[in-house]
Amino acid sequence: MLKNRVLYAVLILALLLFNLYLNNVYALLLLLTAVAVPLFSVLFSRLSRDSVSITLIAADLAEEEQPAQFIAELTNESVFPAAVVRGLLVVQNGLTGTSVRRKIRASVAGKASQAIRFQVEDAEIGKLFATVSDLRTQDLFGLVSYPVSHIAATELLVPPPDVSAKVLMMEALETTGESVRYSEKEKGLDVSELFDVREYLPGDDVRAIHWKLSAKQEEPILREFSQPLNYSVILLVELAAASADALQSCVTYAANLSKGLLEAGVLHTMVWYDRSTDEFVDYNITSMEEQALAELRLVSSSYHETADASLNRFLETGRLDPTATLVYLTTSLESDLILRATREMPVRVELVGERGADNELSGFPVSKLPARYQEVETLSLTV
């Protein structure tokens, strides 16, 4: 802006000298025009600044490695035109921490709107947070600018792609009948634990009728059983700080292994630590609908700086269960905490991205997965 002011001052000085040299009406008109036009442009910019607003709109779910599209709609409620509206669009990925910046520049006539489309090429997996900041109006010649006290924001989710996953169960584990934990919110099929009772409704299973209580109440009473929570597999996802490729792959592997477990008939639990909410997230997955919810929540999570935050939270919950298998999917293996878990329950470690790391951790075998999931045709897991 300083450069524009210097150039404008030089122009006015040159026109002034030109007018003095010619000393005629045409040179005077040229000088007055050079003064009046920028002056009106500055005035219009000043008058319209409080009437300019912006709305940021994102497309629906984007596809990985496809452009993520955003629309910034500028509106000018003033009768005076906004010669130039400038701002900055920042799109940050909550999962990987990467960000993209795009400059906004447009003109908006009085009582009009202007839509500007932006594309973020090769969108990464995760939740994209888009914000428009530093919005300003300025005159056509860039001599002055005025801040606009209006900030717009929106979000866009980029889910992981489907990768074929095959799961082999070495030994079928019983998950009903002798559970040590039961859901307080969901009913299930474990006849050894009563969840609730209610009135019998047409279509209910007559085998679940509580005959003694029905006799006392003089009406059919149905027993609802509990949902066991000691599922045979616990999928622990560690979103430790790593390359964007490794973090995207970690989420992709976790989501598709969860689908593979369900397709193999294995009920399981998916857990991880989300830094954005400082929450240890816990999903019991018994259906594709629940798997989809867990996947969306995982994609919306943020990476953390501590190498073993998820593992540490898991151990603190006291969830070590010798009847279940822990599948630890991680982007980093800098801690021996995993060895503590191996002493209490079967463990499978899947390390994402660290090609140079040893294949063993203090004698414990570690499986390797590429930092780029595009290099994997089929995921294989034996539990």
- Provide DSSP, 305-324: SSTTHHHHHHHHTT---TTS
| 95 close to 156: Cβ distance less than 8 angstroms | no
Domain 49-158 CATH assignment equals 2.30.110.10: no
164-173+230-382: CATH number: 3.40.50.410
| 323 close to 234: Cβ distance less than 8 angstroms | no
Alpha-carbon distance 275 to 301, whole Å? 7
Closest Cα to residue 316, out of 308, 325, 324? 308
Q: Tokens 């009046």 correspond to what residue? A: 36
- Provide DSSP, 260-288: HHHHTT--EEEEEEETTTTEEEEEEE-SH
Q: What is the pLDDT of residue 196?
A: 62
Domain locations along the chain: 2-36, 49-158, 164-173+230-382, 187-228
Q: What is the pLDDT of residue 359?
A: 55
Query: How long is the chain?
Result: 383
Q: Are strands 325-330 and 347-352 parallel, antiparallel or unpaired?
A: parallel
- The DSSP output letter for 183 is E
Q: Tokens 């609908």 correspond to what residue? A: 289
Q: What is the pLDDT of residue 34?
A: 83
| 184 close to 228: Cβ distance less than 8 angstroms | no
Closest Cα to residue 271, out of 290, 292, 305, 294? 294
Q: Containing H/E element for 41?
A: helix 25-48
Tell me if residue 252 falls in helix, strand or coil.
Answer: helix
Angle (CA) 231-236-239 rounded to 5° is 160
Q: What is the pLDDT of residue 270?
A: 95
Which residue ranges of the chain lie beneath pLDDT 50? Answer: 172-195, 227-230, 356
Q: What is the pLDDT of residue 66?
A: 73
**pLDDT, tens digit (0-9, with 9 covering 90-100), for 319-331:** 888 888 999 999 9
Q: What is the pLDDT of residue 231?
A: 62
Its pTM stands at 0.74
Q: What is the pLDDT of residue 363?
A: 63
